[in-house]
Structure 1
Amino acid sequence: MDAYLIAIAIIGALYVLLALGLNLQYGLTGIVNFGHVGFFCVGAYTTAILCEHGVPMVVTFPLAALLAMLAAWPLGLVSIRLREDYFAIVSLGFSEVVRLVATSERWLTNGVQGIAGIPKMFGMLTGTPQALAVLGLLVVLNLIAIAAMWRIVRSPFGRMIEAIRDNEEAVKALGKDPAGFKIQVLVLGAGLAGIAGAVYAHYIGFIAPEQFVPLMTFQIWMAIIMGGVGRISGALVGAVILMFFLEGSRFLRDLLPFISEVSMASVRLGVVGLALILFTMYRPQGLMGDFTRK
């Protein structure tokens, strides 16, 4: 049971890191990014491929973040010329292109068979101590990300991106160029996703294209919506709520024994969807949003 709870905590911490990146992009800047999992995928494959060639993890982790950030740069250039709804579709297409490249380029990614035998972090440990060490690393990474976002929110840069979110035309009228700020925000959020992907690859020990489907992006969206868009605490609380529904719904089988194992996956997804609908109806600002609003 302890191993299960630690594993849930690790996945939850990964979701927090992803939610912080998406919250920076959408919650603070208003960029509708439906391709967040693409950067997660880039980070995971970068560290996996480099480790196959003997590159130490201390080097692969920053490179995973760097390549994810480089992948976000051209996407940021696209965002300058598109409305929010069109950019959302383009970003979703970007994540699918990344996944299709991972599927088709067998010489690099081993295709649909994936990459196995990715070295574990803290290899000198085994079992529960190793899992606790991974969880500790994720806690440190999240604390660093939270501290960085805290500084951003209270800086002139943070005030500018919030102004872009609220009224981009007004920002242009003041002589400011929102384009550069949007690109920077996309790159920073992608870096967090790349780091999360690297940790995920080494924790799981195996990656394949089917692990990086758009559903993961929309789960992160659920987290920030339920927690509170634009709130750092919302990313934290939203990830916890999401894990509660994703994992808690596994035990619905005990309450609904007449539903088959195959159908239960759809029921679980329906439960999470219902929770999102209820939050949207009765708490649209999220659990950690402005309590003066209804």
Structure 2
Amino acid sequence: MEAYLIAIGIFAGIYLLLALGLNLQFGMTGLINFGHVGFFCIGAYTSALLATNGVPVALSLAAGGFAAMLAAWPLGVVSIRLREDYFAIASLGFSEIVRLVVTSEGWLTKGVQGIPGIPRIFPGVSSQMQSMLMFGLVMVLCLLAILAMRRIVKSPFGRMIEAIRDNEEAVRSLGKEPAGFKMQVLLLGSLLAGVAGGLYAHYIGYISPDQFIPFITFQIWMAIIMGGVGRISGTVAGVIILMTFLEGSRFLRDVAPFIPEVAMASIRLGVIGLALMLFTIYRPQGLMGDYTKR
């Protein structure tokens, strides 16, 4: 049971890094990114490929984050000035292109066979100690990311991106160009997604293209919506709620053993979707949102 809880904590931390990056982009800047999983994928594959070829794991993780941030730059150059809904479509297309590339370029990524034997972050220790150290590392990175987000929110840069979120035309009328600020936010959020991808790859030990589907982005969107868009505390709360539903729904079969295992996966998705609908109807501002507003 302890190992199971530690594993959940590690996945929750990885999801929290993803959610913090997306909350910075959408919650604080209004940048609708439907392709967040693409940067997650880039970070995972970059770190995995480097580590399996002898590069130290610490450098591989850093390279994964940098590669995701670097990949966000051309996307931003091409589409950052588009209207929000058009950028959302462009980002979704980008993530699918990334997945198709890692699927088809087998000479580099081994295609659908995936990359096995990815080195652990802490070699030479027992499996239980590996998990505990991994949990500690993920929690430290999450804490650093939260502190960085708090600093950004309270800085002039944070106030500017919030102004862009609230009224981009007003910001432009003051002589400021929103595109430059949006680009910086896109890069920072992608950096967090890339680091999360590297952590995921080294923890799982095996990655393949079907692990990086758009549903991952949808889950992260669920977390920030349920927790409270634009709030760091809401991001944390949203990830906790999401993991509770994802893991708690695994035990539905104990309550209803007559349901076939094949059908249980669909029912789990239905339960999670129902939770999102209820939050949208009764708490549209999220769990940690302003309770004076409806």
**CA–CA distance in 2 between the matches of 1:16 and 1:85?**
25
**CA–CA distance in 2 between the matches of 1:57 and 1:84?**
37
**CA–CA distance in 2 between the matches of 1:124 and 1:140?**
21
Shift of 1:2: 1.0
Answer yes or no: is the 8 Å Cα contact 2:24–2:230 preserved in 1: yes
Moved over 3 A (4+): none
Residues 230-269 of structure 1 mapped to structure 2, 5 A cutoff = 230-269=230-269
Residues 186-225 of structure 1 mapped to structure 2, 5 A cutoff = 186-225=186-225
Q: Deviations over 1:43-92 (max 9, x none)?
A: 00001111122111121111111110011111112333311111111111
Q: Secondary structure at the match of 2:73?
A: helix
Which residue does 2:169 correspond to in 1? 169
Which residue does 2:286 correspond to in 1? 286
Q: Secondary structure at the match of 2:54?
A: coil
Count of aligned residue pairs for this structure pair: 294
Residues 1-294 of structure 1 mapped to structure 2, 5 A cutoff = 1-294=1-294
Q: Secondary structure at the match of 1:81?
A: coil
Query: Letter of the aligned partner of 1:41 in structure 2?
Result: C
Query: Letter of the aligned partner of 1:33 in structure 2?
Result: N
Name the TM-score, length of structure 2 as normaliser: 0.99
**CA–CA distance in 1 between the matches of 2:41 and 2:284?**
30
Q: Secondary structure at the match of 1:207?
A: coil
Query: Letter of the aligned partner of 1:9 in structure 2?
Result: G
Query: Letter of the aligned partner of 1:160 in structure 2?
Result: M
**CA–CA distance in 1 between the matches of 2:26 and 2:255?**
37
Answer yes or no: is the 8 Å Cα contact 1:78–1:87 preserved in 2: no
**CA–CA distance in 1 between the matches of 2:79 and 2:238?**
27
Answer yes or no: is the 8 Å Cα contact 1:31–1:182 preserved in 2: yes
Answer yes or no: is the 8 Å Cα contact 1:43–1:195 preserved in 2: yes
**CA–CA distance in 1 between the matches of 2:127 and 2:106?**
32
**CA–CA distance in 2 between the matches of 1:168 and 1:35?**
22
**CA–CA distance in 2 between the matches of 1:235 and 1:124?**
35
Q: Secondary structure at the match of 2:218?
A: helix
**CA–CA distance in 2 between the matches of 1:91 and 1:48?**
24
Query: Letter of the aligned partner of 1:198 in structure 2?
Result: G
Q: Secondary structure at the match of 2:80?
A: helix
Gaps of 5+ in 2: none
Query: Letter of the aligned partner of 2:242 in structure 1?
Result: L
Shift of 1:266: 0.4
Question: Percent identity at matched positions?
Answer: 70
Shift of 1:13: 0.8
Most deviating of 195-204 and 73-82: 73-82
Answer yes or no: is the 8 Å Cα contact 2:80–2:87 preserved in 1: no
**CA–CA distance in 1 between the matches of 2:289 and 2:71?**
32
**CA–CA distance in 1 between the matches of 2:197 and 2:129?**
22
**CA–CA distance in 2 between the matches of 1:49 and 1:6?**
26
**CA–CA distance in 2 between the matches of 1:184 and 1:25?**
10
Shift of 1:285: 0.5
